[in-house]
Amino acid sequence: MNFEELEKKYQKLGIPTPKKEMIKTKEQIEGIRQAGIINTKVLDYIEQHIHPGMSTEDIEQMVSSKTKEYGGICAPLNYEGFPKSVCTSINDQVCHGIPDVHTILKNGDIINVDCTTIYKGYYADASRTFLIGNVDAEAKRLVQVSKECLDLAVSYIKPFSRLRDIGYVIEKHAKENGFSVVHEVGGHGVGIEFHEDPFIYHYGQKNTGMVLFPGMVFTIEPMINEGSRHVFLDAENNWTIYTDDGGWSSQFEYTVLITETGIEILAH
Ligand code: MF3
Ligand code: CO
Ligand code: CO
């Protein structure tokens, strides 16, 4: 069935459908796939070189130089005024941490490194949370569960799944483990621009929301908190988001493609 036929079928059933612009062409998908390969190589490089005693500015330098070396451009730099090439979010920082020379990684920290690469105009976006040295058991469990939340969502959804199934699976697994899910920041369509529609919720009710059509490309990037789900924005830099209660937060992000038969991870 083509797009118009699918649209008609689901609209008859009263199920919201994606906008035509949300469906990528073969050529666009190939470009995003290439951007994703670079982005994944950059995160692999960081994973091998991150260590206690380095600054988040050191991560900035590695991401910036490796992305260039692999033929890409760092999307965050100057994006809506963001001052650096990568987001580095430590411990109670939920996301959008800004690298700087004074922030030194300590034994026992957890840090999310979030990279977005542009290649031939196409975007891919992914992040991982790394353990620095010896991390205590509870923080390790938080990081493990946040990864499981993402992987469970990816293995649960198929073409023609409903969008809110993603959040349903994530929230269920987080809660079963005594953790909470941040509501204010979500995943997003990605590929032609950094942030596109639709907004991808990391919480909610199954069997609701729009139907996912083959050709959709978006991120899933749940932020899982140890304590309260509530967060606040850094009033000085207007970017960094922290947990309200000072509990730690962990995140992993993939860029995924809905295919005719399943789901393909384009960046991880
Ligand atoms: N990479 C983040 C995301 O997953 C967005 C960062 S915006 C920036 O959507 F400007 F802070 F880079
Ligand atoms: Co993203
Ligand atoms: Co990201």
pLDDT tens for 210-230 read: 999 999 999 999 999 999 999
Q: Ligand 2 mean position to 15 CA, how many Å?
A: 26
Distance, CA of 189 to CA of 18 (rounded, Å):
11
- Label the pairing between strands 180-181 and 223-225: antiparallel
pLDDT digits (tens, 9 = 90+) for 239-251: 999 999 999 999 9
Nearest Cα to 75, choosing from 111, 30, 123, 113?
Answer: 123
Of the listed ligands, the closest to the CA of 219 is 2
- Which ligand 1 atom is the nearest neighbour of the CA of 86? 12
Kindly give the distance from the C-alpha atom of residue 209 to the centroid of ligand 1, in angstroms, as a whole number: 24
Residue 246 has what pLDDT?
98
Those residues with Cβ within 8 angstroms of residue 95's Cβ, 6 or more apart along the chain or in another chain: 87, 89, 112, 114, 185, 223, 240, 241, 249, 251
Q: Which of 77, 79, 256 to mutate to test the pocket of ligand 1 (most atoms within 8 A of CB)?
A: 79
**In this structure, how many other beta carbons lie within 10 angstroms of the beta carbon of residue 261?**
9
User: Quick one: which of 259, 223, 203 has its CA closest to 33?
Assistant: 259
Query: How far lies 22's CA from each of 19, 190, 258, in Å?
Result: 5, 9, 11
Which band of pLDDT confidence, cut at 50, 70 and 90, is reported for residue 86?
very high
Q: Is 211 left (phi over 0), alpha (psi -120 to 50) or beta?
A: beta
User: What's the gap in Å between 105 CA and the centre of ligand 3?
Assistant: 20
List C-alpha distances in Å: 143 to 32, 71, 83: 27, 31, 27
> Which atom from ligand 1 is nearest to the alpha carbon of 79?
10
pTM: 0.98
Percentage of residues in the chain with pLDDT exceeding 90? 100
For residue 71, name the pLDDT band (cuts at 50, 70, 90): very high
Alpha-carbon torsion, ordered 209, 211, 215, 220, to 10 deg: 30
CA of 254 to the centre of ligand 3 (A): 8
Ligand number nearest to the C-alpha of 97:
1
- Give start and end residues of each alpha helix (H) in the chain: 3-12, 26-49, 56-69, 137-156, 164-176
